[in-house]
Chains A and B, each alone.
Chain A
Amino acid sequence: MSQHRTARRLAGLGGAAGATALLLALTACSTPGAGAADTPGVTDDTVTVGTHHPLTGPAAAGYSTISAATKAYFDYVNDQGGINGRTIEYLVKDDGYNPANTQTVVRELVQEDEVFAILNGLGTPTHSAVLDYLDQNAVPDLFVASGSTSWNDPETYPMTFAFNVDYVVEGAVLAQYAADEHPGAKVCVLGQDDDFGEEFLEGVELALGVGGVAEVQEYSVSNQDVSAQIGAMQAAGCEINMLATVNGFSALAIGTAAKLGWFPMWFSSSSGGDYPTLAGFLGEAAPQLLQGFVSANYLPFGPDGEWVELFRQINDDYNGGADFDGNTVYGMSVGYLFAEALAAAGDDPTREALVAALESGDLAGNGILPLGFSKTSHAAWNGAGITIVDAGVQDFVDAAYEVEGGEVSAVDPAPVPLENAGVPAA
């Protein structure tokens, strides 16, 4: 077998292929502009949306149940006849919280599955990886599951909308509550060493002034030991510890302090302040350790609320009675807000109509404060309420704050009442 001959044959083949390629180029199937005029993901009786969530990998423990809750809510809506006669199909792809996987699965959703929109993509590093891609392809990028301020940039990313209250607002809300209820207390911050921690600190300083924070400590997700940070905070005499941490690290911080025999007050962002999740991490000691635990929240999480009652019912009927926690409420609230936007987008929803519906400012959502979407702001809410744990029950207290133009002010919570059995109508 002569290699020479093989090479020549290959080279000849290559040349022929090159010529074929030029011919093919004229009728190429990947030539831009060859797409159909119809709106992707919308048929006469279905609307298909997709998302990327960590179902496996390091972040799965905290967040993998969200997409199941959203899906359960959509199943419920579909059984009620859907939105404007269309059922909602929700495709969930696992990205393992790995930005490279996010790139792949989101392209698959957009190009293969031809989804109408990306809904509630989870994670700052992961979603950052597809931000430009979704913008270039004009795919609505709705309700990103992260409190980074990156999603509220309508000039650069007109299709991207946030869902979480951003970390700056959460920091400011918690710090203002601390200043109002515990004037003169020494406030410290423990933050994740990325946007989460930085922006949260920015918010705390917005309320307290730059000199208002006694001690700032950071942790990295890759290191499961925060005793050095907690030790430094104890040494600095902190009385209120503000946490810009995910649930696992909130529990770690509280547990580590308890081991040192130190019981300061804890104020946590909503991302790391879910009582059922924390209790799961802390075990039997949870009710004592978490007594008086303060957290920001903006969704209807109060145990007696009508939304929670409905969501519990949906969780039992459509989600196999999975554990009901903050993730369940979060996932279903995302579903509700999308259903509301879809209903408002009209009988023949297009991507433009969907974005216009969101920017109109007419949507209400189901939060405890009015929704803040407009042409100039893609932040879902500009404020949050305060929840406190008492005897193992986490509920809202009568305090809420809003951040407007760099000013933090107290507002009255204005929860959206439940209507039409939780199915938005046009």
Chain B
Amino acid sequence: MSEHDTRVDAGAATSGADAATATPAVDAGSAVRPERRPRASTRRLLLTAAGLTVLAIAGTFLLDPYRNYQLALIAAYFCATAGLTLLIGLTGQLSLGHAALMAAGGYGYAITTNAATEAGIEGAARFGLGMLGAVAVSAALGLALGLAAARLRGPYLAGVTLVLVIALPAFAAVFAPVLGGDQGVRIAFDGVPEALRALIAVEQWQAWVAILVAAVCATALALVRHGRLGLRMRAGHGDETAARLAGVATGRVKVAAFAWSAVTAGAGGAVLCFVTQAVSPGAYTLAFSLLLVVAVVVGGLGSLGGAASGSAIIVLLPWAVGALTAALDLPADLGQRLNGNLAVLVFGAILIVVVAWRPAGLAGVARRAVDALARRRRPRSAAVPAGGPRPAASAPEPEASTEPEASTAPEASAPRTTEPTHIER
């Protein structure tokens, strides 16, 4: 089995799809001692995740309640965008229906929680049961979608996922006795636990819960990405026929990718339901679904950090635009018209700029900046012949480390399709 994996790994590396993470040196190590590599990187990854989580939770103390509420929203959206970015970036499957998967999680959470409330269960146990409900419902839907996804590709798959979002209000209306039609389902309020009540406000508590759930989701996704499944996803995306020849069951991998992505989206929906005490079809529109895609594209496809920054943008930008139009003191009717529409316009403009100018998104920009810094510190080791063509497999440095000014000319001749799938530094 391990030998088999190594072969896939090597294939992925030479295909250039993963030049960023799988450097030849690491591969050689893994061939000799196949057991050690995953464990060491897992520990590293968990440490990073724990560090970032503590950092985020510490950050909540610096924010006022409204900012903490926004942070909770960002964390909830991050659950969904993290899954989506993995799905699109690693397997190349486009889902326009992630809002529906979030809704599935939200409804799963709301219905389970309400059942628990009736049974007299409260507090952490109720939350845990609700999350289980959310995960179960969204995983089931994700599996079903994944089965379709394994057989469809490109626009056909996008179409299927699109239908899911469009059908949501009608679905909620047909099953109104359970799903509450357009009004959705409301749940009981979950306040700050007794022990913390003197210390933190409700919004801060909600931000904590959202951050913890997002941390679990993102860590799980990072582990998937670093593990065998992630490798197979990349292999299948790079060249499906080659991957199959190498023994990767690409269909199964696609189903698994969809299921993982659905579960985290569902967890995000559950967090939203926890924070807002309600779930309704009106909250998960097609526009919102597209906004999630915008978030991962602007953030940088395949990058978890990109998904996080993309989520922050879709929460903060409408608010910033609203604050701006209010400050400009426009005529009443113009301001009213701009109020809801200007943000959408700005999103469109940002999307165009990013796709045309920096297809690797914010994550790519950050990567370039960090690499540029590193190069300044170690000028000799990073001396890449500017403009010269270089063989992909033997290049020790990721593609993004080319000189910024040299990047436009030579890259134009190379196919750019693989660039957005870079995973991380």
Listed in ascending order, the chain A residues whose CB lies under 8 Å from chain B are: 1, 3-4, 6-8, 10-15, 17-18, 20-21, 24-25, 28-32, 55-57, 64, 68, 71, 92-94, 96-100, 103-104, 107-108, 111-112, 124-126, 128-129, 132, 136, 193-195, 220-223, 320
> How distant is A386 from chain B, measured CB to nearest CB, in Å?
29
Taking CB atoms, residues of chain A closer than 8 Å to B319 are 104, 108
Q: B277 touching A129 by the CB < 8 A rule?
A: yes
Residues of A within 8 A of B170 (CB): 220, 222-223
A31 to B201, CA, bound (A): 6
Nearest chain A CB to B29's CB is how many angstroms away?
A: 14
> Can you report 23 A-B residue pairs in the complex whose CB atoms are below 8 A from each other?
A1-B425, A3-B44, A7-B47, A11-B50, A13-B51, A15-B51, A17-B55, A21-B57, A24-B62, A25-B61, A29-B62, A30-B65, A30-B204, A55-B336, A56-B341, A64-B336, A93-B339, A98-B285, A111-B69, A132-B277, A220-B169, A221-B169, A222-B182
Once the chains bind, are A14 and B51 in contact (CB under 8 Å)?
yes
Task: Give the chain A neighbours of B387 by CB distance below 8 A.
Answer: none
Shortest distance between the CB of A11 and any CB in chain B (Å): 4
Q: Which positions 32-74 of chain B face chain A at CB distance < 8 Å?
A: 41, 44-45, 47-48, 50-55, 57-66, 68-70, 73
* Binary flags per residue of B70-93, CB closer than 8 Å to A gives 1, else 0: 100100000000000000000000
Q: Which residue of B has the minimal Cβ distance to A192?
A: B182
Interface pair A320/B339, CB less than 8 Å apart? no
Within 8 A of A (CB), among B154-174: 169-170, 173
Q: How far is the CB of B321 from chain A (nearest CB, A)?
A: 11
**A324 CB, min distance to chain B CBs, angstroms:** 15
B interface: dominant SS: helix
When C-beta atoms are compared, the residue in chain B nearest to A320 turns out to be B333
Known: A30-B65, A100-B276, A111-B69. 7 other contacts (CB 8 A): A6-B48, A24-B62, A55-B340, A98-B282, A100-B283, A104-B73, A104-B319
Q: Are A195 and B61 in contact (CB under 8 A)?
A: no
In the complex, which residue of chain A has the Cβ closest to the Cβ of B43?
A: A7
Known contacts A94-B340, A111-B64, A125 near B280 by CB under 8 Å: yes
- Near A by CB (< 8 A), chain B positions 189-228 give 189, 197-204
B277: nearest chain-A partner, CB-CB: A132
- Is B374 part of the binding interface, using a Cβ–Cβ cutoff of 8 Å? yes
> Which residues of chain A come closer than 8 Å to B234, judged between CB atoms?
none
Task: Give the residues in chain A near B69, CB-CB below 8 Å.
Answer: 104, 107, 111
Contact A222 B169, CB 8 Å, known A56-B340, A71-B332, A108-B66: yes
Q: Mark B266-287, 1 if CB is under 8 A from A, else 0.
A: 0000001001111011110100
Residues of B in contact (CB 8 Å), total 65
A-B interface contact total, Cβ < 8 Å: 171
In the assembled complex, the CB of B223 is this many whole angstroms from the nearest CB of chain A, namely: 14
Chain B residues positioned under 8 Å from A132 (CB to CB): 189, 277
Give chain B residues whose Cβ lies under 8 Å from the Cβ of A15. 51, 54
Chain A residues with CB under 8 Å of B282's CB are 97-100, 125-126
CB A119 to nearest CB in B, in angstroms, measures 17
Q: Which residues of B contact A (CB under 8 A)?
A: 41, 44-45, 47-48, 50-55, 57-66, 68-70, 73, 169-170, 173, 176, 181-184, 186, 189, 197-204, 272, 275-278, 280-283, 285, 319, 322, 332-333, 336-337, 339-341, 370, 374, 425
> Is there an interface contact between A11 and B48, defined as CB atoms closer than 8 Å?
yes
- Residue of A at shortest CB range from B315? A104
Q: How far is the CB of A396 from chain B (nearest CB, A)?
A: 31
A128 touches B183 (CB 8 A): yes
The interface residues of chain A lying within 8 Å CB-to-CB of B45 are 7
- Are B169 and A94 in contact, CB atoms less than 8 angstroms apart? no
Q: Are A30 and B51 in contact (CB under 8 A)?
A: no
Chain B residues in 8 Å Cβ range of A31: 199-201
Q: In the complex, are the beta carbons of A220 and B44 less than 8 A apart?
A: no
Could you tell me if A30 and B189 are in contact, using CB atoms closer than 8 angstroms?
no
Contact check, B173 vs A222: say whether CB atoms are below 8 A apart: yes
Chain B residue at minimum C-beta to C-beta distance from A322: B333
Output the nearest chain B residue to A111 by Cβ-Cβ distance. B66
Q: Report yes or no: A99 in contact with B283, Cβ–Cβ below 8 A.
A: yes
Given A8-B47, A124-B183: A68 in contact with B332 (beta carbons within 8 A) = yes
- Residues of chain A contacted by B54 (CB below 8 angstroms): 14-15, 17-18, 21
**B61/A24 in contact, CB under 8 A:** yes
- Tell me which residues across on chain B come within 8 A of A320, comparing CB atoms: 332-333
> In the complex the two chains form, what is the Cα distance from A194 to B186 in whole Å?
14
A103 & B276 in contact (Cβ 8 Å cutoff): yes
Query: In the complex, which residues of chain A have a beta carbon less than 8 angstroms from the beta carbon of B57?
Result: 18, 21
- The answer to whether residues A221 and B336 also contact, given A21-B61, A28-B200, A107-B66 and a CB cut-off of 8 A, is no
